[in-house]
Amino acid sequence: MLILDGCVAVGRWADFLGRASLAAGRVVGRPGWWMRPFYHVLIGGLPLAGVLGLALGLVIWMHTRGVLERTAGAAELLPTFLAVAVLLELAPIGAGLILASRTGASLGAELASMRVSEQIDAIALLGVSPLHRLVGPRVLACVLAAPLLHILIATVALGSGYLAESLLGSTYWLKYQTALLAELHLSEVVAAGCKTIVFGGLIGATGCYIGLNTDHGSEGIGQSATNSVVVCTLLVLLADVLLVGLIQVTIG
């Protein structure tokens, strides 16, 4: 019985995900609907993205430099290791987890509050589709904001790695840049960045789905926020594994 209930829940979520994706596509031409949620998603995530990028660049530099120096003096490969780790995995997954923790909770609580206060029902009574007016713009905002957070994290991480390395007086920008690009292929970098589009869509739709399906009064608002963070985080991690496997198969 539990397995059957689980399958039904997954089926309903998948159906909502498909309809939410279509709704997001329909509101692209209505910037007045999605600019405000996009602003909140992006601006709210910028401080976390900046701190995460700084921490990634410095921590990877501190951990990796000593190991490479012990490996036949291969410290010159540090920028290459940093670029591969950050651009192909850490920056995309970092952007996804920031959205899952911050925006996922916000969407779950916001729409749960609107459900509890019967604002969703009022919108439907006016002949306006909540999916089209509320869900679509929020999903689109997440889809657009996620790649920008990814770019910020990657830029700050690579920049902080360069600053840390240059303080030792052992590198200069042209040498660092050459090492960064030595083992990277544009197709791999673009494919890794495109993962964040999927993350944004999953987080936006899932947060809205959980919020719209709350049914426990005011207590359910907090529960929806918590459930949204947990489910969105799990979906980001699962999607990351699947997408990396797909990228390896298709691009190699």
**Reduced 3-state DSSP string for the chain:** CHHHHHHHHHHHHHHHHHHHHHHHHHCCCCHHHHHHHHHHHHHHHHHHHHHHHHHHHHHHHHHHHHHHHHCCCCHHHHHHHHHHHHHHHHHHHHHHHHHHHHHHHHHHHHHHHHHHCCHHHHHHHCCCCHHHHHHHHHHHHHHHHHHHHHHHHHHHHHHHHHHHHHHCCCCCHHHHHHHHHCCCCHHHHHHHHHHHHHHHHHHHHHHHHHHHCCCCCCHHHHHHHHHHHHHHHHHHHHHHHHHHHHHHHHCC
Is residue 214 in some structural domain?
yes
Per-residue model confidence (pLDDT) at position 208? 94
Q: What is the average pLDDT across 2-20? A: 86
Is residue 10 in some structural domain?
no
Is residue 132 in some structural domain?
yes
Could you tell me the residue range of the domain that residue 104 belongs to? 32-250
Residue 195 has pLDDT above 80, yes or no: yes
Residue 245 has pLDDT above 90, yes or no: yes
Is residue 25 in some structural domain?
no
Is residue 225 in some structural domain?
yes
CA distance 33 to 110: 16
> pLDDT-derived band of residue 197, with 50, 70 and 90 as boundaries?
very high
Arithmetic mean of pLDDT over the chain: 89
Domain total in the chain: 1
Per-residue model confidence (pLDDT) at position 1? 64
Cβ neighbours of 19 (radius 10 Å): 16
Is residue 131 in some structural domain?
yes
Per-residue model confidence (pLDDT) at position 62? 85
Contact 92, 240 (CB under 8 A): yes
Nearest Cα to Cα of residue 185 among 61, 88, 95: 88
Residue 69 has pLDDT above 70, yes or no: yes
As to burial, measured by CB atoms within 10 angstroms (0-12 exposed, 13-18 middle, 19+ buried), residue 218 is: exposed
Residue 206 has pLDDT above 70, yes or no: yes
Is residue 80 in some structural domain?
yes
Is residue 15 in some structural domain?
no
As to burial, measured by CB atoms within 10 angstroms (0-12 exposed, 13-18 middle, 19+ buried), residue 184 is: middle
Main-chain dihedrals φ then ψ at residue 26, nearest 5 degrees? -75, -25
Tell which phi-psi region holds residue 73, choosing left (phi > 0), alpha (psi between -120 and 50) or beta.
left
